[in-house]
Chain A
Amino acid sequence: MIQPLTDAKPYTLTPGSNGVIETQTLEVSIGPQHPSTHGVFRMDCVLDGESVVALKPVMGYLHRNHEQLAERMAWLGSMPYTDRLDYFNSMTNNWAYALAVEKLAGIKVPDRAEYIRVIMAELTRLLNHSCVIGFMLQDLGAWGTPLLYAFRERERILDLYEAVSGSRMMCNYMRFGGVRVNLTDENLATAKDIATRFPRFLDEFEKLLTNNEVLLARTQRVGVLPKELAINAGISGPMARASGVDYDLRKVDKYGVYGRLEFRVPLGDIGDVYDRYYIRVLEMRESIKILQQALRDIPQGPHIAPEVKLRNFKIPPGDGYGRIEGPKGELGFYLVSDEGGKQPYRYHVRPPSFINLTILEDMCVGHKVADVVVILGSVDIVLGEVDR
């Protein structure tokens, strides 16, 4: 039962003694079945005229009991389920889970596997960011054009995913101690081709959008997230960096081989929707740099640590937290192993979408209701990850 946010006043059209018609606030439920909510998500808005007075995000429509499911099956069994968290970025989800288990079990990952992981993660970042921009423009009313251009590029990356892992989106590619299938020279050539082509697409994309007056008018100074608030609310990923928080786990943790790769972390200064758009464009440019370095440096060797067993994989008691910089922010898995160690005693996901969404009301209050969908679009959520 959703409690109304305000006390409803009786509606009247009779002008008061001063001749002004008395008005009341209106509670509007956007979603759960609404195209601009990016899935089954509901926003309980209280409107004064067209302005938002209060907003309450309502989650849980896509709850699948992910964490409890993982606690009843073997360590490997929940790997394919992580694909279904943020179904745009199954590769990075796999990586975060594998990293947590590797930390807990003390597994060393071969160099080639680390490079393959970096390549896959950066390709994922490219496809996620370009599609997110497309979806945000879709919410703005740019029907289809930017989104379909983004999808056209994304398809090349998904083709590579399918050739390597067997599936376009539900890759289930990473394994504890490495990756499931080695990259062939042909796959590497495709990845190189994508890395050389993508900047051209990005230039075109930017020409279409960056200086577009409609986009500027609709996004600048809209949904401002101040730096202090972003830090206090635990926001991570491009959203935090758009507000000027210099926090990128690839630099902070240097997990994988990110310590060996050269790249910069772009930062915004205002933290409005436009910054969040442009940060993603700049991050894609950095991702291409990382990709090119990784494709140049990738060594030969095994793609998976040979000592890791596929079945009857046991982890000594203990707990561990593995986190990576996913395209949406800090994606972490907290795992506890107990006696026996056949399956996790506790399995917790720290989903970036969910935590970034908690700040939605602070960004929306005071703006028009039409801006709410744009602000939501700029947060970059996937409901599979929000609700788990």
Chain B
Amino acid sequence: MGFIGKGLFEGMVVTARNFVGSYFDKERLVTVQYPEERVQVPENSRTFPFLVFDKDSDPVASMRCVACKICEVECPPQCIYIVMDRDEKGKPQQRPKVFDIDISVCMQCQICVEVCPFDAIKMDNNYEKSQYGRFDELVEHLPELLKSNEFYNKIKPTEATAVDAKLKADAEKKAKKAAPAAKPAATAAKPAAPAAPKPAPVAAPTAKIAIPDDAPFTPEQRQWLSGYLSTVAASGVAPAAAAPVAGTPAAPATEAPAGNWPWHDPGLGMQRRLDLAKETPIADKLMAAMAQTDCHACGYDCRGYADAIATGAETDLSLCLPGEAETANMLKKLMQEAGKL
């Protein structure tokens, strides 16, 4: 049973139902009066990146960013600019001096977050970022970018909890790994040990040699080490006396247990690291020339990259991003000295 205009009439019924329904039915009234009313954004929602720091007392020192520049390289529209902080002697400080994000270029793709090995950069969900200017106002610098871990926990609870748990597990693993590895190193350090600044309270009463307070040992390890060293010292046997430089492992690093690389400390300067690795095979020297952040910017950890260069599997010497030109030049020099280049 059709009549002319039936389709039109039915359409009108639909619009009328929607119009009237919008007064009663929440389903049909979907408008939100924005500045007064706000929609809760989902936890995953993302806008622009920020940098996470851990301690409120000192944001700059406790920021997780180590200026490894992975995000700068991986950012598709190239909106990140990083300069590593250096002290007056030119030693890298493992944190950025300049960290700029041009939010007029940033396309909110989250790739910087995904590639960051330190969980240092995360996405904000603040969608009200309008500014009065179009140029400098749209470049965010380090002070604006730094946000606390509490803030991160507040805006993205699920994600932040997982990240915190992961970081904690990593730290514990590292501490565990450092402990056994430290044994031979401490042995080797014996000749230097008597010159330790002040004797630490040690459980063993016979202990004459103290382990520095800040050495990363558990009390049990400390006790064991002190006892061991004292015994060795008392017996007059100096197992590491042959070591020419304090802190250098007596045995070549290849024989040392994995993870025993005294130069593997990002806080040391390039010269100091190379000194530590002076008597070691080429792979270790190469490793000492790197920035020691294990950031995987090159596609390996520091050890892996050094081994890959030494074996010839990797020919590109410029992959160490945090080490900048200093590392690249040193790698080249070392390779030339070794006659491999």
A→B interface (CB under 8 Å) = 73-74, 76-81, 84, 145, 149, 152, 155, 159, 162-167, 170, 172, 180-181, 204, 207-216, 310-312
Residues of B contacting A213 in the complex (Cβ-Cβ under 8 angstroms): 4-5, 7-8
Using known A-B contacts A80-B76, A149-B18, A163-B42, determine if residue A207 contacts B10 with beta carbons closer than 8 Å: yes
Q: How far is the CA of A163 from the CA of B40 in the complex (A)?
A: 11
- Of the candidates B7, B8, B76, B123, the one whose C-beta lies within 8 Å of that of A166 is B123
* A77, A145, A170: the one within 8 Å of B74 (CB): A77
12 of the cross-chain contacts (CB-CB < 8 Å) are: A73-B76, A77-B74, A78-B76, A80-B111, A162-B44, A163-B43, A165-B44, A166-B45, A166-B123, A207-B13, A212-B7, A216-B7
Contact status B109-A172, CB under 8 Å: yes
Question: Are A212 and B115 in contact (CB-based, < 8 A)?
Answer: no
* Chain B residues within an 8 Å CB radius of A162: 41-42, 44-45
Is there an interface contact between B18 and A214, defined as CB atoms closer than 8 Å?
no
- Known contacts A155-B30, A164-B44; is A76 also within 8 Å of B15 by CB? no
Q: Which residues of chain B are near A165, meaning CB under 8 Å?
A: 44
Q: B8's contact among A73, A214, A311, by CB below 8 Å, is which? A: A214
The residue in chain B whose Cβ has the minimal distance to the Cβ of A175 is B114
Residues of B within 8 A of A310 (CB): 114-115
What are the residues of chain A within 8 A of B14 when measuring CB–CB? 204, 207-208
- The CA of A207 and the CA of B296, in the complex, are separated in Å by 59
For residue B46, CB closer than 8 A to chain A, the reply is yes
Are the CB atoms of A209 and B11 closer together than 8 Å?
A: yes
Interface size range on B against A: 20 to 34
| Interface of A, helix, strand, loop or mixed by DSSP | helix
Docked complex Cα distance between A80 and B46 (Å): 14
Given contacts A164-B44, A215-B7, list 11 more A-B pairs with CB under 8 A.
A80-B76, A152-B30, A163-B42, A167-B46, A207-B13, A209-B11, A211-B10, A213-B4, A214-B8, A311-B115, A312-B299
Q: State A182–B276 Cα separation when bound (angstroms).
A: 46
Chain A residue, CB-CB nearest to B17: A204
Given the interface pairs A210-B7, A211-B6, A312-B299, the reply to whether A166 lies near B110 with Cβ below 8 Å is yes
- A90 shortest CB reach to chain B, Å: 11
Does B108 touch A at the CB level, under 8 Å?
Answer: yes
Best-buried of B5, B8, B76, B299 by chain A (most CB within 10 Å): B76
8 Å CB contacts to A: which residues of B1-42?
A: 4-8, 10-11, 13-15, 18, 28, 30, 41-42
Tell whether, in the assembled complex, residue A76 and residue B111 are in contact, meaning their CB atoms are under 8 Å apart.
yes
Contact with A along B184-222 (1 / 0, CB 8 A): 000000000000000000000000000000000000000
A208 to B6, CA, bound (A): 11
Q: Is the CB–CB distance between A172 and B110 below 8 Å?
A: yes
When each residue 59-80 of chain B gets 1 if its CB lies under 8 Å from chain A and 0 otherwise, what string results?
Answer: 0000000000010001010000
A210 to chain B, nearest CB (A): 7
